[in-house]
Every structure is written in structure tokens, then in C-alpha cells.
């Protein structure tokens, strides 16, 4: 069913009975006068602004969007299988073809006009732990190659079993001269570890003739998991060009092992998507926190907070650190930097400045000078709660941006408890009263604390989209709290005794485990007040939120007719166009939507056959062609949305 805003009066009973949302007007003729544009990188461009200059789809005609084509990968796990697929990919476009990966790490090339499959490459991965996912691939053109030469254009993909692979963009064949027969073993130098402790989950990033790779490291499990080293490899040969081992600058380099360099363990990792400024040869990393997440006191391990929960700028060709900016000091809340650093030009005192816009799980947006990392507007170090877990230490202050100020509340207490009924509300209030509720950065404790925002954010890996002409950033944000409690190891519950909706972080090597849950009412509804998810438009020149709406309905979580616009948690992000539109899936209710960039008015929506927890992309191939909007519809394992295997393209009628 497609839904659009109503342009003419319609009979209500027809709309209800038949599910119609618009009446009357035929689609207007296609406008071919606007620009042609592609989508060359995961974030649309090297700087990940998720902005397109396309104008064919507008507020006046978006209600007429229809499915143009669908491609299915076949890679989806059944509901009862423990290792679930998450179809989080955003394709890229080059030379009339779309390239993308499936949750099983298969890579596909499609005709971008028709969706016809051109080739498929199967790396035959040994699958990962509880979630199978691949967010995207990258492309490199060899400027020295001759026309028609094999691997003159190559696709890079990282696999869950720890390989970096290069294939020919024209045929899908392995690039034999890259690494060992087309692949590089990324596990070299990490030391012995279970395979599921370390997995590449995001897009290999090309800058010049270097392809850089990070990885996800298992959360909260132990004191000594593999490290979060980020490495740059030669795009032609696969030779290691550099390695950024994120330890404090005065730490010594480890001696090499038999098979090459080795790297420190338990260091911060960069599991999200990188961005680049090719002109300045800068690579921007969103860094996570060291391991384990919720306790890092004396005697457990040496301090590795120097690059933790930071934005780091490296020199792309050498891996040299140019600058870093820490968004959380001694992060004990899993507030790692998840969103891609967006490289924008923002107005500051009447001039445009090259900046990094870094959205965070705390619901903060930091605007940093791109060349130095210095904040473009004041960031205040404010006192935060102290008295943390026994033996650990806390930073007495944390950085709070002032332009824009925090984009969601920074305090949640008993007076904020919510419920559909008085009984629910009273029960939630008792839950909050039993926890320490001193606002954001309330530390984990033996008594229990309320963490708001929760570990999902705020703003997660979907990040923001930025309209450079309107100077507006659009982002979706979560507002579900978590409760946390440290438990002495001797009192640890068994896995089989763990209640549903409870996460247990074992933190082996520390004195404590951590139990984490979403506080729920007796009806099973979050105790935090709706909206549980929002979509916001922020004027970055003025530093103001210009609109905010609840994002998502309870469809899929409640029976009809109880589909309320409470706003729901989301994963995935937005895309904006020059015509003033925002396209976004992401919410748990399974819709792809279009909004007005300046007002937040919903203009159109269509229900997808599976969850749209991915970032949409858009392109137009030729002057007489149509503008397409493409999104993966395949669900998300953690949100438990409907799983599927589709890549879907929408366009105006021909």
C-alpha cells in the first residue's frame, strides 16, 4: 500500500475499506530539465553527506512514486534460526551499474535502469555470530589501466570471516594480483581469538590508491579481545601500506610476529563507516570505546582511552594521525561513535567553513574544523555524576556542544515515568525510583542506574544527511532508556536464567558482569515517555532545531487499529535531495517515507515487504531518464523487524 498526503477530498469509507491514500490527479509529465547525478560512495559522496542534487522527484509529485524494479538475493535466514540476517546495505553506482552486498557477503552487480542481475560473486564465508550483515562495498578506478583491462575498476568488500576481497567490477571475477589470489587475510597480527570476536561489518574505504578497513569487536565480553587496528592496503597489490594501532602515542610498537606485524589487544575499534576528503588526503574514523565496555578499573588492564569514543583524522596515504577529538571521556556507557563523520561546509559568522559534523549516541552534534578538529562553536566541559563502580574511575566532566545544543533530553527521572494506564505509570515510577537517575553519564553501579539515551542512541550508524543550500541536517534518533546493573562475578546468573529482553555482558577478567534491559511496564511497553524515536531537521547555521516529529508508528508491534504514531526506535539513516525532500526507511513499522526538508511534513509513504533498516540512495542515469530511489528491504536482527532479501527501486511513472 502506498500512502500520500491528500490533495483532494476523498470519501473516508473508501480510504479505510480499500486502503487508498490519494484520489484523482494523474501523475504529471516527467520533468527532464533537471540534473543527472549518481551515488558513488556509501554516503553518496566521499564526505558522506547523503545529499543528491537531483530535482525530478519533488513535493508536488512524490505521491506518484511506484515500484520500478526489485532484486532478490535469496540470502535471508528463517525466523527460528539463531544467526539472523540484517539487510543494512546501501548500494553504490558506477557506469550504469549498481553494486551491493548481501548479509551473507555475496556481491551483486545490477543494471541500474532495470534491476537485471549482471553478475554475482560468492566469497563462501564462514558465517559470523548472531547477526549476518554487510553495509556496503566500495569501488576504485585504476588511473593507469588501459580500456578493457581486467580489474581496471575493482569492487572491494570485507567479509565476516575476516577477508578483504577485490573483484572486477565488469565481471565479478577475483582480481588475482590483489593479495593472495584476490584476497587479504585481515586476521593477521590480531593474535589468537574466536572468529566471532572480530568481524568487518562496514564498507572498505578507498582514498587515493589505499583501501582502509576497520572491524567490529565483540562488546562487553572480556578484557582481552582482539584490538581495533585500522589498516590501509595498496589497492593494486593488497600490500599493507600502514596500520593505525589506536594506543596512546607514547606506547611502544609491538615486535612483529612470524606472519607480520602484531597489534595491541582490546584497543578502541572503528566499526562504522569512514569518510574521506581526497583533496586534503584525510580519512575520518568514528571510533568506539575500549574493551570491556562498562568497567575498566585499575588492575584490569592498562588505560586505552586516548582514542576511545573519538573522531580521528588520519593522513590517507600514510595512516599518520592528524588530529582527534574525544566526544566521551573514559566511556563506560557504550557511547561509541557510530555515525559516519559527515564532511560539510557550514556557515560560521557569515562564511562557509570546511567542517566535520559528528552525530553521536548521546544525541549530540559536534561541529569540528575539518583540518584541525577544533570545535567551530563552544563546547562546554560540564560536571557529570561521579561515584562510579568500585575500583573504576570517572571523568568529572564531559563535553557538551552548544551549537546546536543537545538534541534530546539529558535527564530522565521518576517524574518522567510513563504508562498507558495509571497502574503502568505507577509501576514504571517504582522502577525508576529503584535506580540511580542523575541524568546522562550516570555511571554503572551495583545498585543499578538509568541510562538515557540507551546504548542504541541517540543517533546510531545511520548518521545524518545534510542539505548544503538550506544548511539543514536531518537525522533520526532513538529515545529508549536502558537500566544497567553491575553484578559481582560470584553472583552471576546462568545464561538459561536470563529473562527475555535482558542482555548479559560477562566482562571476563573484571570483578563484575553487567545486566542491561529496557525498563518496561506490566503491559510490556517502554517506561520512557513517547516519542521513542524522532526525526529532526537542524539549521546548522543558526544551531537550532527547526522541526521535530515522532518517527514511526506501532505497526508491527501492536495489532490494527492500535497503530499509534508514538515514534519508534530506528536503524538506518536519511537521504536528502536538492528538491527539498528527505527519504528514509529505518523505522520499525516497515515504511519508506518522504518528508519536506524544511518543515518535516510527511508527503508520502509506502509499506515495504520487509524492514527498511538501511540508508536509501538516489540517482538518475541520463537526461531523458527517471530518478530512482533505492532501498534494501530485509529487516534488522536486533530490532526484530520482518526479514527479507529485496533491493527495491522506486520512480515516477514513465
Which active-site residues does the annotation give? 334
Which cell numbers hold the place of 523? 503491559
Q: CA-to-CA distance for 30 and 624, rounded, in angstroms?
A: 9
The residues near 644 (Cβ < 8 Å, ≥ 6 apart) are 76, 87, 609, 610, 611, 633, 634, 635
Dihedral sign, CA of 628, 648, 27, 535?
Answer: negative
Pair 198, 215: CB distance under 8 Å? yes
b/e for 588-607, b at 16 or more Cβ within 10 A?
bbbbbbbbbbeebebbbbbb
Q: What is the spatial distance between Cα 419 and Cα 421, in angstroms, rounded to a whole number?
A: 5
Cell of 654: 514513465
- DSSP structural state of residue 508: B
Query: How far, CA to CA in Å, does 389 sit from each of 298, 448, 449, 512?
Result: 11, 10, 11, 9
Whole-angstrom distance, CA of residue 219 vs CA of residue 478 = 20
Q: What is the DSSP letter of 558?
A: B
Cell of 23: 484520489
Q: List residues bridging with 285 in a β-sheet.
A: 312
CA 521 – CA 429 distance, rounded (Å): 9
Closest among 318, 276, 287, 361 to 44, alpha carbons compared: 276
User: From start to end of 175-252, where are the E strands?
Assistant: 183-185, 198-199, 205-207, 210-213, 216-217, 230-234, 240-244
3-state secondary structure 268-309: CCCCCCCEEECCCCEEEEECCCCCCCCCCCCCCCCCCCCCCC
Please tell me the number of Cα atoms within 13 Å of 543 on its side-chain side.
15
Strands 574-577, 51-52: pairing is parallel
Task: Quote the CA–CA distance of 48 and 333 in Å, as a whole number.
Answer: 26
| Bridge partners, 314 (sequence order) | 283, 321
Nearest CA to 528 among 461, 481, 476, 463? 481
Residues linked to residue 97 through DSSP beta bridges, in sequence order: 94, 111
331 vs 155: CA distance, rounded Å: 36
Please give the C-alpha separations between residue 50 and each of 196, 407, 573, in angstroms, as whole numbers: 31, 20, 9
Sign of the torsion formed by the C-alpha atoms of 316, 322, 325 and 326: positive
Amino acid at each position: 500500500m502506498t500512502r500520500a498526503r491528500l490533495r483532494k477530498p476523498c470519501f473516508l469509507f473508501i480510504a479505510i475499506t480499500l486502503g487508498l491514500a490519494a484520489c484523482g490527479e494523474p501523475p504529471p509529465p516527467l520533468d527532464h530539465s533537471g540534473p543527472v547525478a549518481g551515488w558513488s560512495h556509501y554516503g553518496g559522496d566521499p564526505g558522506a553527506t547523503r545529499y543528491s542534487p537531483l530535482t525530478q522527484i519533488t513535493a508536488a509529485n512524490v505521491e506518484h512514486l511506484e515500484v520500478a524494479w526489485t532484486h532478490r538475493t535469496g540470502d535471508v535466514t528463517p525466523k527460528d534460526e539463531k544467526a539472523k540476517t540484517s539487510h543494512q546495505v546501501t548500494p553504490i553506482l558506477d557506469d550504469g551499474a549498481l553494486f551491493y552486498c548481501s548479509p551473507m557477503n555475496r556481491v551483486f552487480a545490477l543494471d541500474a535502469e532495470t534491476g537485471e542481475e549482471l553478475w554475482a560473486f560468492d566469497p563462501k564465508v564462514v558465517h559470523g555470530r548472531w547477526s549476518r550483515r554487510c553495509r556496503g562495498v566500495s569501488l576504485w578506478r585504476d588511473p593507469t589501466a588501459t580500456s578493457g583491462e581486467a580489474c581496471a575498476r575493482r569492487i572491494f568488500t570485507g567479509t565476516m570471516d575476516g577477508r578483504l576481497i577485490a573483484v572486477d567490477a565488469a565481471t565479478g571475477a577475483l582480481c588475482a594480483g590483489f593479495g593472495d589470489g584476490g584476497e587479504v587475510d585481515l586476521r593477521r597480527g590480531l593474535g589468537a581469538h574466536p572468529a566471532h570476536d572480530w568481524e568487518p561489518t562496514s564498507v572498505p574505504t578507498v582514498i587515493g590508491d589505499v583501501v582502509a578497513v576497520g572491524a567490529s569487536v565483540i562488546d562487553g565480553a572480556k578484557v582481552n579481545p582482539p584490538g581495533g587496528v585500522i589498516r590501509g592496503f595498496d589497492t593494486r597489490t593488497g600490500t599493507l601500506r600502514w596500520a593505525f594501532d589506536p594506543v596512546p602515542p607514547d606506547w611502544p610498537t609491538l615486535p612483529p610476529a612470524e606472519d607480520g606485524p602484531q597489534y595491541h589487544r582490546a584497543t578502541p575499534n572503528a566499526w562504522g563507516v569512514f569518510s574521506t576528503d581526497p583533496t586534503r588526503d584525510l580519512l575520518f574514523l568514528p571510533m568506539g570505546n575500549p574493551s570491556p565496555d562498562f568497567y575498566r578499573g585499575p588492575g584490569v588492564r592498562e588505560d586505552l582511552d586516548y582514542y576511545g569514543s573519538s573522531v580521528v583524522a588520519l593522513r590517507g596515504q600514510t595512516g599518520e594521525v592528524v588530529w582527534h577529538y574525544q566526544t566521551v571521556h573514559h566511556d563506560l556507557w557504550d557511547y561509541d561513535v557510530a555515525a559516519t563523520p559527515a564532511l560539510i561546509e557550514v556557515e560560521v559568522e557569515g562564511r562557509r567553513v570546511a567542517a566535520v559534523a559528528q552525530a553521536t549516541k548521546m544525541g549530540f552534534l559536534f561541529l569540528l574544523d575539518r583540518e584541525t578538529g577544533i570545535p567551530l562553536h563552544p563546547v562546554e566541559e560540564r560536571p557529570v555524576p561521579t561515584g562510579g563502580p568500585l575500583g573504576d574511575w570517572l571523568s568529572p566532566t564531559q563535553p557538551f556542544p552548544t551549537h546546536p545544543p543537545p538534541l534530546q533530553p539529558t535527564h530522565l527521572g521518576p517524574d518522567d515515568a510513563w504508562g498507558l494506564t495509571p497502574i503502568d505509570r505507577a509501576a514504571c515510577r517504582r522502577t525508576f525510583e529503584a535506580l540511580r537517575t542523575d541524568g546522562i553519564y550516570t555511571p554503572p553501579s551495583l545498585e543499578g542506574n538509568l541510562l538515557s539515551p540507551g546504548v542504541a542512541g541517540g543517533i546510531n550508524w545511520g548518521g545524518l544527511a545534510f542539505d548544503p543550500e538550506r544548511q539543514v541536517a536531518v537525522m533520526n534518533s532513538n529515545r529508549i532508556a536502558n537500566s544497567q546493573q553491575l553484578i559481582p562475578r560470584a553472583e552471576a546468573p546462568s545464561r538459561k536464567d536470563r529473562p527475555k529482553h535482558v542482555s548479559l555482558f560477562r566482562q571476563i577478567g573484571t570483578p563484575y558482569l553487567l545486566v542491561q534491559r529496557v525498563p518496561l511496564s506490566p503491559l510490556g511497553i517502554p517506561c520512557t515517555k513517547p516519542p521513542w524515536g524522532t526525526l529532526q531537521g537542524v539549521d546548522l547555521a543558526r544551531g537550532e532545531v527547526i522541526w521535530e516529529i515522532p518517527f514511526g508508528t506501532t505497526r508491527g508491534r501492536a495489532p490494527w487499529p492500535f497503530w499509534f504514531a508514538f515514534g519508534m526506535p530506528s536503524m538506518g539513516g536519511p537521504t536528502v535531495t536538492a528538491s527539498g525532500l528527505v527519504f528514509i526507511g529505518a523505522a520499525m513499522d516497515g515504511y519508506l517515507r518522504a518528508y519536506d526538508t524544511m518543515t518535516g511534513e510527511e508527503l508520502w509513504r509506502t509499506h515495504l515487504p520487509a524492514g527498511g533498516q538501511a540508508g536509501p540512495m538516489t540517482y538518475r542515469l541520463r537526461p531523458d531518464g527517471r530518478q530512482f530511489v533505492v532501498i534494501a528491504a530485509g529487516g534488522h536482527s536486533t530490532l526484530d523487524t520482518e526479514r527479507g532479501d529485496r533491493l527495491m527501486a522506486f520512480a515516477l511513472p514513465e
